[in-house]
Structures are given as C-alpha cells and as structure tokens.
Amino acid sequence: MKLLENFLTAAEHLKDVLLPTRLIYSPIFSEESGNLVYIKPENLQKTGSFKLRGAYNKIRKLTEAEKQRGVIASSAGNHAQGVAYAARELGIKAVIVMPKTTPLIKVEFTKKYGAEVILHGDVYDDAYQKAKELEAQEGYVFVHPFDDPDVIEGQGTIALEILEELPDADVIVVPIGGGGLISGVACVAKHINPNVKIIGVEPSGAASATASLRQNHLVTLPEANTIAEGTAVKRIGELTLALIREYVDEIITVDDYELTESFLLLVEKHKIIAENSGILAMAALKKLQERAKKIVPIVSGGNIDVLMIASMISKGLVSRNRIFNFAVSIPDRPGELAKITQIIAEEGANVIKLAHNQFKNLSRFRDKEVLITVETNGAAHIAQLIAAFQAKGIAVVAS
C-alpha cells in the first residue's frame, strides 16, 4: 500500500493550505437522478478550484536546487492560479504564460498571487510552447497541469476526503479535461475500496479520453468545441490515460445544453456558482444507470466570468422550459393584443418580452404576427398555456 501512503502524505502537507469542502446533500439532484447525491464543492476551494492541490504538492516536493530555479506553467485559468498561489506560499518564483485572449480578471488574479505573467499567443498551445522555451532558456521547473505524478497525487487527496466523510459512497463522478483529477481520485478510491465505482465525464465536443480509449492509443482531436473551456483538451495525458484505463469504470459525455440546465439548478437550489467545466459531473447525474445509490459528483471549479453567469442562467431557463418563446397571429385590429395578454395572465405566466411583426406575410393578409417570451413553471405549464390558446382558436408556434 505504498502508493496510498504517498497520497496520505500529500494530504497531510496540504491540510493547512486548503479550505474544507465538506459534502453537501442535494435533494433536487437526488430526486432528478433517482439516487442520493452528495456534492463535493471544490469550487469553494482557495483559488476557486481543485488545481491548488496538485500544484502545491508538485512544488512542495521539488529539491532545494529546483526551488531556487523557480517554476513555470502555461494556463489560461485555474492551473495558473493554483501554481501562483502555491509558489507564493512556498516562497518560490513563479512565471505563468497565458494566451493574450485570457480574460483580464484571470490575469489579474494570477498576478495578485505573486506570479510574473507573460501574455503570449492566441491559444493555450501557443502559451505552452512559449513556457517550454523559457523552461529551457531560464532553467525553470515546468509544472504540468495534469500529466505529472506529483500533480495527480495532490488531486487524489479529494478522494481521501470524500471517503472519510462518506465511507459507503457507491459512485464518485469526476470531470475529465487532461485527466489529472480523475486519475488521482480513481487511484485513491480504488485502493481504499475496490467496489467504489468511478465515472468520468467529458464534454461531447472535447471527448479526448473517450476517443483514446476507443482506439486504444492517445488520440489528438481535430478541435475542442465546448463551453466547458477548462476541459477543452484535444489530447489527454499519456500517464493519465494509463491510469484511467486501469481504474475508471465508465466515461459519460454531456452536451452544452445539459451543462446549462445543471448550472441553473445549482444556482437556484444550492446558491452555488460553478464554472462550465466544473459542472460536468452534475450534468451527468441524470445519465447514470444506478438507482438508490450514494453518488458523489465533484464540482471542480468556480472561476466564471460574470457575463457568462448571466448567459448560462438565461440558456438554462430555456433548456428547463422555464422560458418559452413563441409566436401567434392575430387580426390587425384594436383589442386583439389584449386578448392575448389576458390568456397569458389567466394561465399564470409572466410576459418578459412582446413584439409585433406587421411586415411578415401571413396566410391572411390582414393578420399580424406577435412574438412573445414568457416565464413559466416548466413543461407542464407550457402545455397548459398552449392548450388555453388552442381553446380560443389561436395557434401557437414555438420559436
């Protein structure tokens, strides 16, 4: 059990650095999935994600000579902040190379933790190449975001906490980007209890682990197209793929619409704000085959732009049928619009937006189109509203 001892040692060194992220029982996600769901909220961790664990463990284990050289990393988000924070705590110089397109707030947070930030290139790959150049030129120690045993070791401490708090957990659901988080969690969990099922979750537009497992070798995707930008990885790690193959039981993919639904539920029911990649595990819960089991989804991060929050809430409302956009045609004469709004009011829906389109050619020349957006209580409420219009002889066209 030497391997498990390494994770326990990492946890011991991390205990004074981390914030406690105790499990949160979720009645709403339990009801929707048919299981008992306990959320592991790593979005509440220092620096806003789990990444601090691996970064700190990696930098802590450097030799004195390596610490004198300083560390370098490439990242557009959570890994950057984790490395910067860890280096500051350990008194080591940190240089972070970020794409020029990185949101200013993330750049500023990384600088706030004491790192020197270099903006280079338009995408992560450009920043990575620049960081590797500086590693060779300046002698820095490169801290990889996922394909590193010490980083994986730090991430695996999450599983120790989960199984200490909920020893009889049946399933742990873990997001997959490069694979560092799920590799560490799966390795620890299986050594403590081989019966714990480990399920990984990837965005359908960036499912590099799924593709690599299917073809039985590392696959580089032609593109990574997902709103879960923190897990938009074209090529999973070589080490992480091997660990996933050995310890992970299943991988599920979710699409962007499923992410928006889970984002809305987390905000509305738990007042939890998570980034798009952080909610992959939550979005997968309805796809699990298990029933009446104790399930622990890991919410991996919460660093999200305020404008993105507004967009995710809006899209989530539509996806969960809480917002209904539709059109009706009415005769172009006084009083007809009032009849429409009266039907909506009688059915308990709330008008958010209403607009005429008098210039659209309709089947009857003197008719006009009315475009309406209403707030509802869900699919059943929408069906009730449509039925009320039909009862009045008015056809509803969803848009």
Nearest residue to 282 via CA among 259, 304, 305:
259
Tokens of 79: 């890994």
Give the angle 132-116-98 at the CA atoms, nearest 5°: 55
Q: Does 300 participate in catalysis according to the annotation?
A: yes
Measured CA to CA, the distance from residue 122 to residue 125 in angstroms comes to 8
Distance CA(127)–CA(245), nearest Å, equals 29
Tokens of 328: 């009706």
Tokens 């990837």 correspond to what residue? 202
Where do we find the tokens 């659209």?
A: 360
Q: Which residues neighbour 189 within 8 Å (Cβ) at sequence distance 6 or greater?
A: 159, 162, 163, 172, 196, 198, 247
Closest CA to 92 of 75, 68, 116, 65: 68
Q: Which residues in 41-63 are b (16+ Cβ under 10 Å) and which e?
A: bbbbbbbbbbbbbbbbbbbbebe
**Distance (Å, rounded) from C-alpha 336 to C-alpha 142?**
69
Q: Are 326 and 398 in contact (CB under 8 A)?
A: yes
The residue annotated as part of the active site, out of 300, 315, 329, 368, is 300
Of these residues, 40, 51, 294, 315, which one is catalytic? 51
For the chain, the residue count is 399
Q: 323 has which bridge partners?
A: 375
Catalytic residues: 51, 300
